[in-house]
Structures are given as C-alpha cells and as structure tokens.
Chains A and B, each alone.
Chain A
Amino acid sequence: DTAVSQTPKYLVTQMGNDKSIKCEQNLGHDTMYWYKQDSKKFLKIMFSYNNKELIINETVPNRFSPKSPDKAHLNLHINSLELGDSAVYFCASSHRTSLETQYFGPGTRLLVL
C-alpha cells in the first residue's frame, strides 16, 4: 500500500537519450510535484500540477516535460539527456495549499553517462 511510488528506482542512460520517470499516488491528493536533488543533496522544486493543471513551473530546461494523465499520476519525460541531469528525482503529492504535508516517493536515481 505504497502512498507515492516511482518507477524506475534507478536509471542509467547515455547522453542524448530520452527517458521517462513515472509517479503514482494513492492518497487521493489533488496536487503532485517533481523535485530534483543534486549531488550536494539540495532539493529544488521543478514542477507542480493541481488537478492535471500546471501550477508551478520553475526555471527548468524545455527538455523536461511533465505530463499528468489524471490526478493520481505525474510523469516526467526528459529529452536529450545531459550529464548535468544526473540527480535523484523525487515525486511528491499533497492537497493543494502549502499548509498541507507533502508526501514523497522513494526517488529515482538518474545517472547520465
């Protein structure tokens, strides 16, 4: 009964490839997020969707495209992967406002060679 799940857990790929990371939550939340954690463990928000609508879009290259087919899913597609994309990507979900706790997935460790 995992609350927020991500697949895959590990992803090793070559520069220039396109890859996707999937996220699903079964908490009934209406808002989902993608965060990037760099090698220094610094967490930075990338995107947020509320009811399939994009509400946060930080300064992220156009190569990153989130897709939310429904409230329970938020996938992250990355085109033309670069070395600097290597990081841990965390999905999270919550009810919309910042008053609510965000529940995080286990993370996807992406390594671009």
Chain B
Amino acid sequence: AQSVSQHNHHVILSEAASLELGCNYSYGGTVNLFWYVQYPGQHLQLLLKYFSGDPLVKGIKGFEAEFIKSKFSFNLRKPSVQWSDTAEYFCAVGSGNTGKLIFGQGTTLQVKP
C-alpha cells in the first residue's frame, strides 16, 4: 500500500533561517507529488507539484522541492523563512487516474520573528 512519511512533526525556526522538510513515499510506480500548506485558520492550498521533467520544482512564496527518485523523496526547501510561513505543511502522493491523494501526517512549522 502507498504511504507517505514526513519526518519532522514540529519545526521551530527563526526568521531568515533555511528550511528543509523531509517527505518520503512508498510506491513503485509513477507518482505525482504535491506539497500543500495550511496557514492558521485557512484551508489547504497548493505550494507546488511535480509530475515529470525537471526534478527541481519551484512553487509559490519562494518554496522549492526536489524529487529524488532513487530515494523516494520529495523534500521541501526555502532558503530564508519568514514569520508568515508559520503553517502546517503536508506532502501528498497521487497515482492512477482517480485523483486519490495519500497525505503525510503533516509538519507544523513555527517561525519566530
């Protein structure tokens, strides 16, 4: 069965620090990879996604993620976080044509001003 694992459950950073959130998945076939963000009191929204091509994808608000097929990983990065990046971050994997997404357990990011 497919699964998604996010290693960091709660991350606390100071503003301007660099961020890397880990995401690993288990699935042998072709996958589509997503990072969603949930700001406090808001709904989930897409940060970035990978389907094919360049394994380094750029998303909104300066975020990027790198797909490393050999490691089954899709880690999220940002060179310099801001207080407004405080949120829940979810990695998700989709496959097939049903639209079914498997989500990781989420990472709470707290950025101190």
Contact = CB atoms under 8 A, between A and B. Distances in A.
Interface of A: 4, 31, 33, 35, 40-45, 48, 50, 55-56, 90, 92, 94, 96-102, 104-107
Nearest to B92: A43
Contacts, number: 64
A67 B22 CA distance: 37
A107 B96 CA distance: 26
Nearest to A95: B99
Contacts of A94: 99
A42 B43 contact: no
B43 to A, nearest CB: 5
B105 A99 contact: no
Contact of B98 (A4, A55, A107): A55
Interface stretch (B12-20, B44-52, B65-73, B75-83): B44-52
A22 to B, nearest CB: 16
Given A41-B106, A55-B99, A92-B44, 5 more contacts: A33-B99, A48-B98, A98-B101, A101-B49, A104-B44
A31 B103 CA distance: 18
Report, nearest first, the 7 A-B pairs whose CB atoms are least far apart: A98-B94, A43-B103, A104-B44, A41-B106, A104-B43, A106-B43, A97-B97
